[in-house]
């Protein structure tokens, strides 16, 4: 794994080990041999130590009659029976050299290094690390833990060259008052830098390994957003042999600096799949570029306190206690998905279609300890919040398996196809509060049914590759045989509908 520009091994990593036998000829010269025994021996790291394959045993460093063993290792281990063709000498043949001058690691593995081909697509961390190549010659020293015996030590040296591109990164800060308490909050700006076949270390840095023993040219172009936000385009041309083995070359775009700026989070901002935010002003010129649309998960619809309500509250008009217990970091905003989870599904089937779930929970005595803790957080939460009521549906379904919740099941399916970022709540079924905020821009007093918030979202969804609200949508707020809905088309009428009816559902997420 990466520690800045240093590398550390993790459990499961494998190195290949080869032995070289040196036979002293007594005239200042030695013969050096590589035999099949312990050629490309696979050693596996368990997080603490490297283990040999079952039954394998290393040859002692010093043997009788002036014979010595030298040890060479490389990473990552290659399951290749032709390893004899990837080292400096043929198997079993003698190479005469001055006594005590074994090959350097680069000399010994010269064919392997020369022919090493980093993956053309290094976009996953596994492909990126598998493109690396490190070699070393071992030294035998006394054990460092004070016990008898020796240890074989390798100091690996990178043989590939590393190209790093870094664009500027921005952290936006702002203050927000909820329940009379002023808090400073922050979020990261989405940069837009699309790595394609590079490994993207974070939202503003990407890496690519190249073989400096070959003269290869590689041209890369991309866009990024600066803090204005303004979309900029850049290009980099790499020449592999211009970077020395074991070093990295850092390309900084527009200085590549980190900065902090003041900007509050706003309804209509775009929530991205890496957990960052792209300000809505970025779409003022029209639709977002296709690669940016691919990174967009949803549009922010709720920021700050509304009519005295906020999901983080603990006072009267309480918030979502369960959400704050599970995800206390999710205090900035809520976003709604770009697409419907399903075009039409019943709210419930079976017993749950006629049961008031909250009333059931109040009277139920069969919860496990973990379920009881969930129920107590649900019971303490304010009515109409979606995350806690989503869990209530799960609790009911766990004890009444004949009941299904088709609308919520579609949100689970949507979540599988659109992974939630770290630091978010994950996708959940919106409650009355969330659904009303998406349509009316208010959480409770919505009798006049304003459409400003719905119109804002509907104007932004297509710019990010999504679809506008259209038709009637479920919330998970219910009273027994019915559940609360809003018709997002035309009249934007709200009201209860039978749980057996089929309506649309769209997922939301807190961050």
Domain assignment present for 305 = no
Domain assignment present for 273 = no
Place of tokens 């005295």: 308
Q: What are phi and psi of 71, to 5 degrees?
A: -120, 135
Measured in whole angstroms, how far is the alpha carbon of residue 116 from the centre of its chain?
28
Q: What is the pLDDT of residue 95?
A: 97
pLDDT band at 298 (very low <50, low <70, confident <90, very high): very high
- Give the Cβ contact number of residue 29 at 10 Å: 13
Per residue in 318-342, pLDDT (tens digit) is 899 999 999 999 999 999 999 999 9
Query: Looking at the structure, do residues 367 and 502 belong to the same domain, yes or no?
Result: yes
Q: What are phi and psi of 340, to 5 degrees?
A: -65, 145
Query: Looking at the structure, do residues 202 and 154 belong to the same domain, yes or no?
Result: no
Domain CATH code at residue 180: 2.60.40
- Is residue 259 within 8 Å of 188, Cβ to Cβ? no
**CA 144, 47, 117: angle at the middle one, nearest 5?**
105
Per the DSSP assignment, residues forming a β-bridge with 6 are 3
Query: Looking at the structure, do residues 377 and 497 belong to the same domain, yes or no?
Result: yes
| Mean pLDDT (whole number) for 46-63 | 93
Place of tokens 């400003």: 452
Domain assignment present for 291 = no
Is residue 208 pLDDT above 90, yes or no?
yes
Cα 294 to Cα 270: distance, rounded to the nearest angstrom: 12
Per residue in 358-382, pLDDT (tens digit) is 999 999 999 999 999 999 999 999 9
Per residue in 131-141, pLDDT (tens digit) is 999 999 999 99
**CA 327, 333, 336: angle at the middle one, nearest 5?**
100
Element (H, E) at 422: none
pLDDT band at 215 (very low <50, low <70, confident <90, very high): confident
Cα 311 to Cα 302: distance, rounded to the nearest angstrom: 10
Per residue in 190-200, pLDDT (tens digit) is 999 988 899 99
Query: Looking at the structure, do residues 347 and 488 belong to the same domain, yes or no?
Result: yes
User: Of 268, 297, 289, 291, nearest to 414 (Cα)?
Assistant: 297
| Mean pLDDT (whole number) for 470-488 | 97
pLDDT band at 490 (very low <50, low <70, confident <90, very high): confident
Inter-axis angle of helices 452-460 and 432-440, nearest 10: 80
Which of 266-275, 468-477, 484-493 has the least mean pLDDT? Answer: 484-493
| Mean pLDDT (whole number) for 61-67 | 86
Residues 6+ apart with CB under 8 A from 230: none
Cα 112 to Cα 327: distance, rounded to the nearest angstrom: 49
Q: What is the pLDDT of residue 446?
A: 83
Cα 402 to Cα 411: distance, rounded to the nearest angstrom: 19
Query: Looking at the structure, do residues 105 and 184 belong to the same domain, yes or no?
Result: no
Domain assignment present for 283 = no
- Is residue 386 within 8 Å of 436, Cβ to Cβ? no
Q: Following DSSP, what letter does each residue of 114-168 receive, concatenated? A: HH----S---SHHHHHHT--EEEE-EEEE-TTS-SSEEEE---EE-SEEEEEE--
- Residue 102 is given by DSSP the state P
What the block records as the tokens of 393 is 């549906």
Domain assignment present for 81 = yes
- Is residue 426 within 8 Å of 415, Cβ to Cβ? yes
Query: Looking at the structure, do residues 154 and 14 belong to the same domain, yes or no?
Result: yes
Is residue 26 pLDDT above 90, yes or no?
yes
Query: Looking at the structure, do residues 169 and 150 belong to the same domain, yes or no?
Result: no
Mean pLDDT over all residues of the chain? 95
What the block records as the tokens of 360 is 């059931």
Among 233, 264, 295, where does a domain finish?
A: 264
Q: What is the pLDDT of residue 79?
A: 87
* Domain extent at residue 438: 333-510
Among 159, 189, 219, where does a domain finish?
A: 159
- Residue 273 is given by DSSP the state T
Q: What is the pLDDT of residue 231?
A: 95
Cα 459 to Cα 208: distance, rounded to the nearest angstrom: 38
Which of 83-87, 263-267, 406-410, 444-448 has the least mean pLDDT? Answer: 444-448
Q: Following DSSP, what letter does each residue of 181-246 receive, concatenated? A: EEEEEEEEBP-----TTSEEEETTEEEEEE-TTS--EEEEEEEEE-SS--EEEEEEEEEGGGS-TT
Place of tokens 């520009």: 5
Q: What is the pLDDT of residue 297?
A: 98
Among 116, 132, 159, where does a domain finish?
A: 159
Query: Looking at the structure, do residues 139 and 238 belong to the same domain, yes or no?
Result: no
Domain assignment present for 281 = no
Query: Looking at the structure, do residues 178 and 101 belong to the same domain, yes or no?
Result: no
Tell me the pTM: 0.85
pLDDT band at 491 (very low <50, low <70, confident <90, very high): confident
Per residue in 393-447, pLDDT (tens digit) is 999 999 999 999 999 999 999 999 999 999 999 999 999 999 999 999 999 888 8
| Mean pLDDT (whole number) for 219-243 | 92
Cα 508 to Cα 336: distance, rounded to the nearest angstrom: 4
Domain assignment present for 442 = yes
Cα 100 to Cα 102: distance, rounded to the nearest angstrom: 6
The 199-202 sheet, strands edge to edge: 199-202, 205-210, 161-166, 248-252
Query: Looking at the structure, do residues 233 and 107 belong to the same domain, yes or no?
Result: no
> What is the count of structural domains for the chain?
3
Q: What are phi and psi of 466, to 5 degrees?
A: -100, -170
Is residue 2 pLDDT above 90, yes or no?
no
| Mean pLDDT (whole number) for 49-57 | 94
pLDDT band at 217 (very low <50, low <70, confident <90, very high): confident
Query: Looking at the structure, do residues 413 and 499 belong to the same domain, yes or no?
Result: yes
Q: What is the pLDDT of residue 216?
A: 83
| Mean pLDDT (whole number) for 291-304 | 97
The SS3 assignment for 486 reads strand
In the chain, the percentage of residues whose pLDDT exceeds 70 is 99
Q: What is the pLDDT of residue 507?
A: 98
Domain assignment present for 73 = yes
User: Of 336, 310, 339, 338, nearest to 428 (Cα)?
Assistant: 336
pLDDT band at 166 (very low <50, low <70, confident <90, very high): very high
Query: Looking at the structure, do residues 203 and 89 belong to the same domain, yes or no?
Result: no
Inter-axis angle of helices 432-440 and 386-399, nearest 10: 140
What the block records as the tokens of 64 is 């009788």
Between 314 and 465, where is the model more confident? 465
């Amino acid at each position: 794994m990466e520690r800045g520009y240093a590398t550390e091994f993790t459990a499961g990593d494998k190195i290949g080990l080869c032995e070289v036998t040196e036979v002293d000829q007594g005239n200042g010269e030695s013969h050096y041999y590589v035999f099949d025994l312990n050629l490309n021996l696979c050693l596996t790291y368990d997080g603490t130590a490297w283990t040999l394959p079952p039954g394998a045993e290393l040859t002692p460093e010093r043997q009788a009659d002036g014979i010595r063993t030298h040890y060479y290792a490389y990473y990552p281990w290659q399951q290749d029976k032709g390893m004899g063709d990837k080292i400096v000498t043929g198997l079993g043949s003698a190479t005469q050299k001055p006594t005590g001058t074994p090959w350097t690691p680069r000399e010994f593995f010269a064919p392997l290094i020369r022919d090493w081909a980093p993956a053309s697509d290094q976009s996953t961390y596994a492909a990126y690390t598998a493109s690396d190549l490190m070699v070393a010659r071992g030294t035998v020293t006394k054990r460092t833990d004070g016990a008898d015996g020796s240890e074989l030590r390798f100091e690996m040296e990178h043989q590939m060259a590393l190209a790093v591109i870094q664009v500027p990164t921005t952290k936006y800060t702002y203050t927000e008052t909820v329940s009379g308490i002023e808090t400073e909050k922050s979020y990261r700006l989405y940069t837009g830098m699309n790595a394609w076949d590079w490994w993207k270390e974070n939202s503003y840095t990407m890496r690519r390994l190249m073989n400096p023993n070959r003269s290869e040219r590689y041209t890369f172009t991309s866009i990024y957003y600066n803090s204005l936000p303004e979309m900029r385009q850049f290009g980099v041309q790499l020449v592999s042999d211009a970077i020395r083995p074991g070093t990295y070359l850092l390309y900084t775009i527009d200085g590549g600096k980190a900065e902090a700026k003041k900007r509050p989070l706003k309804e209509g901002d775009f929530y991205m799949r890496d957990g960052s935010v792209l300000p809505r002003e970025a779409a003022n010129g029209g639709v977002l570029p296709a690669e940016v649309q691919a990174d967009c998960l949803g549009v922010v619809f709720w920021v700050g306190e509304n009519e005295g309500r906020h999901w983080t509250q603990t006072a009267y008009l309480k918030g979502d206690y369960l959400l704050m217990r599970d995800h206390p970091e999710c205090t900035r905003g809520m976003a709604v998905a770009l697409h419907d989870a399903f075009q039409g599904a019943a709210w419930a089937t079976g017993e749950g279609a006629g049961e008031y779930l909250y009333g059931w929970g109040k009277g139920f005595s069969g919860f496990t300890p973990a379920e009881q803790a969930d129920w107590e957080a649900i019971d303490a939460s304010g009515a109409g919040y979606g995350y806690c009521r989503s869990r209530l549906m799960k609790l009911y379904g766990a004890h009444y398996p004949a009941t299904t919740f088709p609308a919520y099941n579609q949100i689970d399916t949507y979540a599988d196809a659109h992974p939630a970022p770290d630091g978010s709540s994950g996708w959940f079924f919106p409650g009355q509060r969330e659904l009303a905020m998406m349509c009316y821009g208010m959480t409770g007093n919505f009798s006049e049914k304003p459409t400003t918030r719905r119109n804002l979202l509907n104007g932004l969804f297509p710019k990010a590759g999504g679809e506008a609200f259209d038709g009637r949508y479920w919330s998970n707020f219910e009273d027994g045989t019915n559940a609360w809905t809003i018709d997002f088309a035309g009249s934007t009428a709200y009201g209860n509908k039978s749980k057996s009816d089929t309506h649309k559902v769209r997922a939301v997420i807190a961050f």
